[in-house]
Amino acid sequence: MYRVLVTGGAGFIGSNFVRYALQKHDDWQITVLDKLTYAGRKENLQDLQGDPRFSFVQGDVADMTLVDRLAGQVDAIINFAAESHVDRSLLDAGEFINTDVYGAYVLMEAAKRRSLHRVIQISTDEVYGSVETGSSVETDRLNPRNPYSASKAGGELMARAYFESFGVPVIVTRASNNFGPYHYPEKIIPLFITNAIDDLPLPLYGDGMQVRDWLYVLDHCSAIDLILEKGQPGEVYNIGAGNERTNRELTGLILKLLGKPESLIRYVTDRPGHDRRYSLDSGKIGALGWRPAYQFEQALAGTVRWYRDNEWWWRPIKSGAYAEYYKQQYGSRLRG
């Protein structure tokens, strides 16, 4: 039995990975550690309750005693635990530092004392900063431009330092923007889908011409699975799907899939430090044999369908504390 600790496993990407891994690997035993802050939800894992290969521990990745105990019970750790929304980092960076940097330190300290097969530190393409031309390769310098991406850069640099200093078998992944089921509706795709379903305005930053490379979450999961098996400790791997779209183009696709008018679009003042474009060169993981399996338009259509069919999941979120955050973030800019 291969035992894996998945931190942040009740969040968007983490929960999708846990589900993916248990379906693919009969011999895996997965323990999820999650603090269950606003974006980490037990509902994301409710279909796994009763699977004897799955267990859940509510707790903080920054809790040294708890993490050390759990690290002693597993063969590998995959760290998805993170505060992950740029807009929220602009309002309060402290929690990002605590989870994304200090949490990574706590995990590495625990891993240093164990004989683990692998530790995977999940990072983001945003650590490269805005890329005007070409595509980022793993050896490019990091240039984070907001507190979120800076905290992710700090976490991965801490992890890589523990490889260099102590031989902890760390691998860092930097993925492009993910989308798919169970995505908390503060990010552009789930926000715009759920707003459009209710004929609410879609707040599009600036001129809407920011470019992102969209990666379906299950393609991300398959890449992590492969890296866990074939990746080399101490290395960094980009994970991108080559699906570059402007935010304006993406918005139009969502509206078309839902049969909604473009009059729902509201252009709002751009956020500070908004990177214009991200683009990844994924040749390094491609050399390991990974290719995305999902075509972008079909995966987006499936994602729209999931939110349309699973209102039980997102309506309670948007009617609770999230509503106050949304009002604070967009309210004054959407009037008129």
- φ, ψ at 78 (rounded to 5°): -120, 120
Residue 131 and residue 86 in contact, taking contact as beta carbons nearer than 8 Å:
no
- Active site (annotated) includes residue 125: yes
Catalytic residue among 102, 105, 128, 148: 148
CA atoms within 13 A on the CB side of 195: 27
- Active site (annotated) includes residue 229: no
DSSP assignment of 6-33 equals EETTTSHHHHHHHHHHHHH-TTEEEEEE
Per-residue HEC secondary structure of 114-150 comes to: CCCCEEEEEEEHHHHCCCCCCCECCCCCCCCCCHHHH
Straight-line distance from the first to the last Cα atom of the chain, in angstroms, rounded to the nearest whole number:
59
Catalytic residue among 125, 156, 186, 244: 125
- Active site (annotated) includes residue 2: no
Residue 13 and residue 32 in contact, taking contact as beta carbons nearer than 8 Å:
no
Q: What is the largest CA-CA distance in the chain?
A: 59
* Token reading at 317: 């979120």
Separation of alpha carbons 330 and 316, rounded Å: 19
Catalytic residue among 83, 126, 186, 275: 126
Residues with catalytic roles: 125-126, 148
